Amino acid sequence: MRFFALIATLVLGFGCSSKAQETSPFAQPEEESVSAVLITEYASIQPGGKTRIGVHFEIEEGWHIYAEDPGDAGLPTKVTWSVNDAATIGPVQYPPPQEFLDPGDIRTFGYSGEVVLFSALEAPAQLPDRLAAGLRIAADVRWLACKDVCIPGKVNLELVLPLSPDAPLRSPAADLFPTF
């Protein structure tokens, strides 16, 4: 059954839209199996400073989304960042995934419960005046959520990370990022 749902998803396309298409730091798709929130490690950033930015997924019990390498079936969860041209963002970091064994010995890799996909962000040392309000961070996020059926989801998230000469304070979401 899941195989046919995956084929239907691939034929119909990955672009199924969710109810929460407006740009915001928090969005929840219509099917409510997955919610996604844009988070930062620090509540502000200094010129030349570094922080981590991420998408925190909360996945309803019984559902899962896929890792960068989904295995024998599924589609990888993707986060595409955009930020003011003066800042740089590193590649998306995927935590070690869980392994799922589906009927027919289909082995997939992904996440259930909750997961944060994140990247390193570095602010420029010399900030142009146009960035006085902060760094605008946006994420185009796409996933395939599966349980008995598979449902594609996508959302555009955005926030402004304030710039400050003061030492940054950890954000309320800081503990969601993995420690090294």
- pLDDT, residue 128, reads 67
Segment 26-64, tens digit of pLDDT: 444 445 799 999 999 999 998 899 999 999 999 999 999
Alpha carbon 118 to its chain centroid, in Å, reads 7
- The per-residue DSSP string of 89-145 comes to E-PPB-PPPEEEEETTTEEEEEE-SEEEEEEEEE--SS--GGGTT-EEEEEEEEEEE
In CATH, the number for domain 2-169 is 2.60.40.1250
- pLDDT, residue 90, reads 96
Q: What does the domain layout of the chain look like in residue ranges?
A: 2-169
Stretch 103-132: mean pLDDT, rounded?
88
Cα(174)–Cα(180) distance, integer angstroms:
13
Segment 93-110, tens digit of pLDDT: 999 999 998 878 999 999
- pLDDT, residue 175, reads 96
In total, the chain counts a number of residues equal to 180
Average pLDDT, the chain: 83
Stretch 133-138: mean pLDDT, rounded?
88
- pLDDT, residue 152, reads 95
Indicate the pTM of the whole model: 0.80
Segment 159-175, tens digit of pLDDT: 999 988 889 999 999 99
